[in-house]
Amino acid sequence: MAIVTTNDKHYKDIADAIRNRAYTETPKQYKPSEMTEAVDAVFYAGREEGYSFGDADGYDRGRIEGEAAGIEQILEGKVTEVNSNTLTIIKESKFMNDKSITSINAPNLTTLEESALDGCNNLTSVNMPSLTSAGTYAFRYATNLPSVSFPMLNSIGSSAFRNCWKLTFADIGVPTTINTGTFNGSYILTAVIIRTSEVCSLASTGAFSSCYHILGTYNVTHNPTSAKDGYIYVPKALVDSYKTATNWVTFADQIRAIEDYPEITGG
């Protein structure tokens, strides 16, 4: 079930409109079990009295009608899908440990603050092409997220993708620094793409701790053959510089040119 969300005001306006029928002399307050049933009545009465879910507020009647069964989920904080063209920031810990959220489609989102999606272990899909900043622990324990692609990302907090157990592919755009623990515990990561035009600094080799396929280390569950088949893709002109750069030198054999593997990197 898709729930359209924008910000805290969106939640509050919807909840208030359902809970209180303000067009009566004595507002009626609904119990949670009555709210879904009351949605259309709230809408029509509100419109007649000058209250409506107008475009200026970022929603329309189609979203209310179409998602009527999801109103209780909104009120209880059980959002399954976030779809918004207006959302630009997800605040600190906003969805932390939310077990219901499965996907986010926010093409204009630029910022994930610290722990914004920390512990969202049923999150499987994110579309955030405008993301420029992912804070510390932004995606930590997003254990079912298989891939990410953020072409404009330039700031990545420590442990941003820590313990993303199913993450295999990460196109992390144009970061200036990869911080400690960034991918620590992302056991099956096999492709990291960095598109920065200068060598991106690596704060610590611990950024890739327990990335068994990049390190080529044995793990009975995640790398039983000790395969060293995980690679870091960078601009061709910078390959040699990366291979000798501080901390990157540890991963010299796993550094490849973006341009040589278009089937993986998109060129």
pLDDT tens for 34-86 read: 555 544 444 433 333 332 233 333 333 223 223 333 444 544 555 688 888 88
Average pLDDT, the chain: 81
pLDDT score, position 45: 36
Q: What is d(CA 10, CA 60) in angstroms, rounded to the nearest whole number?
A: 12
SS3 content of the chain, % helix, strand, coil (to 5): 30, 15, 55
What is the average pLDDT across 83-106?
91
Task: Report whether pLDDT(17) > 70.
Answer: no
| Residue 18: Cβ-neighbour burial (10 angstroms; 0-12, 13-18, 19+) | buried
Q: What is the pLDDT of residue 53?
A: 30
What residues does each domain of the chain span?
1-79, 82-265
Please compute the mean of the pLDDT values over residues 243-264 and round it to a whole number.
98
- Please give the model's pTM, rounded to 2 decimal places: 0.74
CATH superfamily of 82-265: Ribonuclease Inhibitor (3.80.10.10)
Three-state SS for 123?
coil
- pLDDT tens per residue, range 171-222: 999 999 999 999 999 999 999 999 999 999 999 999 999 999 999 999 999 9
SS3 35: helix
Among the listed ranges 64-68, 93-97, 201-205, 234-238, which one has the minimum average pLDDT value? 64-68
For the chain, count helices (H), then strands (E): 7, 14
User: Residue 159 and residue 141: Cα distance in Å, rounded?
Assistant: 10
Buried b (16+ CB within 10 A) or exposed e, 176-197: eebbbbbbbbbbbbbbbbbbbe
DSSP 192-226: EE---SSPPEES-GGGGTT-HHHHT--BTTTBTT-
| 3-state secondary structure (DSSP) of residue 245 | coil
